[in-house]
Amino acid sequence: MSAVAPSAMAPSIDRLHRIGVIGAGQMGGGIAHVCALAGLDVVLTDIGDDAVQRGYQAIERNLGRQVARGRIRAEEQDAAMSRITTGLDYALFGDCDMVIEAATEKEEIKREIFKRLTPKLRPETLIATNTSSISITRLAASTDRPEKFIGMHFMNPVPVMTLVELIRGIATDEATFTLTRDLAVKLGKTPVAAEDYPAFIVNRILQPMINEAVYVLYEGVGSVEAIDTAMKLGANHPMGPLELADFIGLDTCLSVMQVLYEGLADSKYRPCPLLVKYVEAGWLGRKTGRGFYDYRGDKPVPTR
């Protein structure tokens, strides 16, 4: 029996030691959290020092909660935090084996990030995007390495939710897919493969449901409280659709619906005008203190 040529062998997850994360918000911070906890070195950045520090502190708090609940040991928290390097200069990604982009869900922002990022990377470095809806093929084409580009869509909150959607672009090679799948498993996640169609699997199903709940509110069929109670008790959902929209961020919900509407040209995906109005008002949900609920008091209060 002849030996298998090295080029024909499957790539090893051992190739990935240092992971870059662009975006220190809920998603990027969560991704950095699980990577560091899994023993990987992490480079974390955002648009400014304040954003980076908020993200770093949030990771420390969330790891502390895991310690308090007995899910990890205090020494694991300390080790994870020691693996995270922060900064603003994209040159920090020069020695990363993979960089995961987790910026806001706007294509022009992501394209600008990749334009700045790719000159700083080694030729073999992989790029993943945490986009929840945008075409992987189109984003990959804005880089110098579409074959090493992949969608890696984590669920929120990242340390708790076990699913990761893996989305190949038209040019994504098998080695990139295999390494990314193995990384997801190393992080304790369950990867599922999705095709590169608008919003992939989860948001293709979830966001139209949320949008329809907003239409039910818009048309006066039920109040915020009635809609959420009905879906929790009538469909056994752990969280009502409007409460969930606030948790996700109404701007993100609107962005996904716009991608679906434009990408599939089907009127059933038209964003509800009330959702648009809330976003225009800056009432984006929990992160701004108001959405379908007002979070500024002791307990959330419906805003309609």
List the domains of the chain with CATH numbers. Answer: 6-194 (3.40.50.720), 203-291 (1.10.1040.10)
pLDDT digit string, tens, across residues 84-135: 999 999 999 999 999 999 999 899 999 999 999 999 999 999 999 999 999 9
The residue with tokens 């699997």 is 201
Rounded CA separation 231/163 (Å): 23
Rounded CA separation 165/151 (Å): 8
pLDDT digit string, tens, across residues 138-186: 999 999 999 999 999 999 999 999 999 999 999 999 999 999 999 999 9
The residue with tokens 């699913």 is 163
What is the enclosing helix (H) or strand (E) of 235?
none
Q: How far is CA 82 from CA 28, 59, 65, 101, 222, in A?
A: 17, 12, 17, 21, 50
Rounded CA separation 211/77 (Å): 39
Phi-psi region of 190 (alpha: psi -120 to 50; beta: other; left: phi over 0): beta
Confidence of residue 3 (pLDDT cuts 50, 70, 90): very low
Give yes or no for residue 24 having a pLDDT over 60.
Answer: yes
Q: How far is CA 279 from CA 103, 271, 287, in A?
A: 18, 11, 12
User: From the centroid of its chain, how far is CA 203?
Assistant: 12
pTM for the model: 0.88
**Cβ neighbours for 244, distance < 8 A, ≥ 6 positions apart:** 210
Rounded CA separation 19/84 (Å): 10
pLDDT digit string, tens, across residues 60-89: 999 999 999 999 999 999 999 999 999 999
Helix (H, G, I), strand (E, B) or coil at 153: strand
Positions annotated as catalytic residues are: 132, 153, 165, 203
User: From the centroid of its chain, how far is CA 24?
Assistant: 11
